[in-house]
Amino acid sequence: MMKKNIIHIGCLLALLLTASCSENFLNVESPDKVGIDEYYNTQSRIYEALVAAYDPLEWFDYSFGQYNPILTMSDIMADDVWVGGADRTDNKYWHLMANYEALPTQVMTTTWTTCYSGINRANNVMYYMKDVQDISDQTKALYLAEAKVLRAYYYTLLWKFWGNVPYYTANLEFPYLQKQSAADDVYKGIIADLDDAITNGGLPMKAETSDYGRVTMAMAKMLYTEVVMYQNDQTRYNTALTYMEEIITSGKYNLVSDYSSIWTEDGEWNNESIWEINYKHNGAIRSWSNPQAAGGTVLPRLISPKDWTDGTDGRDNGWGFEPVRKEAYDMFEAGDTRKDASIFDASKSKYTKRYEDTGYFLNKYMARTGYNANQKADADLNYGNNLRIYRYSETLLNAAELITRGAVGKGDAKTYLNQVHKRAGLTDTVDPTLENIMNERHWEFVGEGKRYWDLIRTGNATKTLVPDSYGYRTNTWTASKKYLPIPQSEIDAAQGTLVQNNY
């Protein structure tokens, strides 16, 4: 299936590729020799800046010399998957993170770098908008809203992984230093951006086909609810619930009947999808020498069985990272269609077993034959599997949880919860207790990067994330491990303006 016309990596103009608050800007010359400060004076050119602000979304899986698939980076610290690979030295920083012993010199620097690149690009849109003459007030408000939501998304990742990070809304000038903000203040900044974008941006509830991948009202409200619930900010629960019920009653989204269909190429941007990060394989030119080029993702290659040779089942081989724990495979109730749709049982098949092998692999993003077809560079990097970030099932479960936690809305928590439960082929009706809702989230979102954050925000991390019987995880998660150590390269470059997190 050909990808639809969507926002993709491969920006129209190189923009201030700022890796972090402490690095120099990349000086670029515009295509028509106009100085950068004079270039962004038309709607078409400011749109180039907006497209560039979307570009870093696709860099998380591999860029700047590291593998950092954004969903995997939290999942390896939870309890559904192992790290895998050849041994504990293969992607060593993954193994250290999984055991809650990450070091400033062994941590995922690419996520930090990519987020600040995105923040700087979003800031550019807002800075240069004042010079644009041929733009309507409506389009201007829309572009600014998109940039603010993108900035909020990038800051959300930094806030969740590192907590106390440099926060700024106008790009820095030489010497490019910014003191870090407390995590609670970063949260306030995220909320302020989302409040403004939701209220003033004129965002559509759902994107038209030609705009799949762009920020929408539903996406902004999902992000708002995510950060409010992670912060346990009860003062905003009613607003968050209102947002969820506005999505529900909009009629723009609904659950697809076949859960397994969500994860196929034909299932991208189905009626359940609220926001995906787009990748493509047709014409993809992403390469090891240029991983920021337009193209696909390496995630399916990373997480599939090594030396898989059974081409009859439509699966492709991989490198054996992120094997799924047997306990995760066994946790599903009998008849739950999410079990096999989420997790592939390769235990009776022929492949090369690697470190921490269980025989189970994440089926949602497994490499599939033809999913990197027609790419024009490095096949490993160019699988066209979109990352599903927000789905309508999460809207329903968010609403059920907020009501159960005391928020006042118009709907019924039991109805919301059981729509998701019964879509999975389960015939019983469950009551909307917090335990039942969190169990449903666990089953629904295996491998989607949500479990770790759920355990932290509900206070269950300490009792769940404990040493295992296999000897792979030997440490227990503690509150002091909530934030990763800031990369040492950033500490060194910050000239004393950054204080290291506990680690």
> 376 burial class (0-12, 13-18, 19+ CB within 10 angstroms)?
middle
At residue 112, does pLDDT exceed 70? yes
At residue 490, does pLDDT exceed 60? yes
Global pTM value? 0.94
Give the pLDDT mean for 57-70.
96
Tens digits of residue pLDDT in 466-484: 999 999 999 999 999 999 9
Tens digits of residue pLDDT in 140-167: 999 999 999 999 999 999 999 999 999 9
At residue 237, does pLDDT exceed 90? yes
Percent of the chain scoring above 70 in pLDDT: 93
Give the pLDDT mean for 120-140.
97
Give dist(CA 44, CA 42) in Å, integer.
5
Give dist(CA 322, CA 76) in Å, integer.
7
Give the pLDDT mean for 132-144.
97
C-beta atoms surrounding 252 within 10 Å? 17
Tens digits of residue pLDDT in 413-470: 999 999 999 999 999 999 999 999 999 999 999 999 999 999 999 999 999 999 999 9
C-beta atoms surrounding 436 within 10 Å? 18
pLDDT at residue number 125? 98
Give dist(CA 305, CA 14) in Å, integer.
37
Tens digits of residue pLDDT in 6-35: 443 333 333 333 333 433 323 344 555 677
